[in-house]
Homo-oligomer: A and B are copies of this chain.
């Protein structure tokens, strides 16, 4: 199998499992709303990272599948709530109406709450069924990095910083937590489930940090160097929204330089995992070279 076939396999595996988790049942509108957002065109970045990190340390990707689905649910809940009128007030995401537009605001709030709770239910089911403390450890890492030590606090500071000029330290805090939190958690949880040693877990924390920040710098770069046709969303939106980004704080050239350093660092660390890490290495390359 070549890289693309392997990637599609992983995505298919995740989509199939997500479809089962979100099969219609009472109350139907809730499952409709949750399913609508989960199947609104996400690239399954975080689940793929989790499955590949599990493989990289010699584990079986199937073992990480329930957690990979839980992670995609947590990611989706955060998008649904971020899009709400009181937050970013976005009517469209990936060209489709956002959850509160397709349904209504009350159901969007509840669908987000539902996906977050369901994610923990799935993880706790796995912990109880397999009676394996590694799953509990992985779930704890995900909880921390979704909440008080990750995505949620990043989002709080991001919301607070709206229309205010912020310093580099605050920007890095937002990026490392808001975007980096779930990316790091996906890699580390996958590695823990795959049986990683303490050293390997620390390696994946660093890889996750690098990929998370690099991913966000790339977003900031594309916003000023791409076209709206390629990106599928308006360009120069950060400038229009008066938003401090890595590019506005450091300049385009430094942003490109730092992106390169972080990406290359991540790839070098992944290479230490040898043959088992090959897929993850190639996947990191596609993230580095992405044009939208």
Given contacts A27-B156, A117-B116, A160-B27, contact A137 B148 (CB under 8 A): no
B124 touches A143 (CB 8 A): yes
A107 touches B147 (CB 8 A): no
A120-147 near B? 1/0 per residue, CB < 8 Å: 1100110110010100110110011011
User: What is the CA–CA distance of A136 and B110 in the complex, to the nearest angstrom?
Assistant: 25
How many identical chains are in the complex?
2
Given contacts A121-B143, A136-B124, A140-B125, contact A110 B29 (CB under 8 A): no
Which of A7-15, A80-88, A198-206 forms part of the interface with chain B? A80-88
User: What is the CA–CA distance of A148 and B148 in the complex, to the nearest angstrom?
Assistant: 24
Q: Can you offer 5 A-B residue contacts whose CB atoms are under 8 A?
A: A81-B113, A86-B109, A107-B156, A110-B156, A131-B133
Closest B residue, CB atoms, query A121: B143
Interface residue from B84, B109, B128, B152 paired with A136 (Cβ < 8 Å): B128
CB distance from A167 to the nearest CB of B (A): 14
A29 touches B160 (CB 8 A): yes
Interface assignment of A224: CB less than 8 Å from any CB of chain B: no
**Cβ of A124: which chain B residues have Cβ within 8 Å of it?**
136, 139-140, 143
A13-35 near B? 1/0 per residue, CB < 8 Å: 00000000000001101100000
CB distance from A55 to the nearest CB of B (A): 24
User: What is the CA–CA distance of A153 and B113 in the complex, to the nearest angstrom?
Assistant: 11
B84 touches A118 (CB 8 A): no
B116 touches A113 (CB 8 A): yes
Interface assignment of A285: CB less than 8 Å from any CB of chain B: no
Of A114, A120, A137, A146, the most chain B CB neighbours within 10 A belong to A120
Given contacts A133-B128, A140-B124, contact A86 B114 (CB under 8 A): no
B118 touches A148 (CB 8 A): yes
Closest B residue, CB atoms, query A34: B148
Interface residue from B84, B110, B125, B143 paired with A120 (Cβ < 8 Å): B143
Of A131, A136, A143, A155, the most chain B CB neighbours within 10 A belong to A136
A29 touches B117 (CB 8 A): no
